[in-house]
A = this chain, B = another copy of it.
């Protein structure tokens, strides 16, 4: 990506707002680039399409204080935003962080910034701008920009395609259930909730190996399979018995667990994917979980017929 490398920051003025920005810039070091003007500048590779998404993480909606550390909150919010670029098989080019900060979170700004910075470094994504304002509850609204020669869209699924999912499912949901009950989640489940990874390199590999459509399953597998089906004008048949479930998680729970940040991809049937090569390369499984049909909506196979469709996450109701 040809973003201007390590563009110098502008000298910032005085005041609490700029002090907060300066503190974050100290944390981010060379990962932040060209901060301080009214807007950020980005030179994009010729011939590539700009891919852009904005994603918000709000206290009380996406997490509660004490469930995960401020550093995890920063990294998780950044991963969630970058996951939308992964779903398009895009390469990150830059991110902007808009923070809403209540007074009693002010002391955590450094740790929040550390979390954002760690995920930005891990994803090779420069931090190019943002906004800080006080607010009643903590929020991180992160805009991610990326580029792709041929973005992977939700609309590309066709009847006959095979459906694959990355990683294992249900851990994040199990952790969330435990946290909501006031129980300490198992370590593996907690990590799935607290430290999701955007599947950026995985998505680009999949796009190069026959994937025709993708969606991230942050709303849960069944809900997002429904979105993929609606966008492509097709049906989706999921095989619950095939789901790669986290230890101790039922397929029904794995199918409805939100906040997963794995990818569901539709692959042309004449290009069978080498799932072993995928696992060897990325250290996570790639599992065939169903197929695209000529119908509409999502149907479930492999269990008895009375299985209800889990509804997935909704961040407004």
Contact = CB atoms under 8 A, between A and B. Distances in A.
Copies assembled:
2
A316 B139 contact: no
Contacts of A131: 54-56, 141
A87 interface: yes
A39 B137 contact: no
Contact of A12 (B20, B50, B141, B227): B227
Nearest to A230: B11
Contact of A39 (B36, B84, B312): B84
A315 B99 CA distance: 11
Contacts of A144: 39
Interface of A: 10-17, 20, 36-44, 46, 49-56, 58, 60-62, 83-85, 87-88, 90, 94, 96-98, 100-101, 128-137, 139, 141, 143-146, 151, 153-155, 214-216, 223, 226-227, 230-231, 233, 311-312, 314-317
Contacts of A39: 51-53, 84-85, 87-88, 90, 144, 146, 151
Contacts of A214: 38
A17 B317 contact: yes
A143 B94 CA distance: 13
Given A11-B233, A317-B17, A49 B43 contact: yes
Given A40-B53, A51-B39, A136 B60 contact: yes
B90 A13 contact: no
A42 B233 CA distance: 23
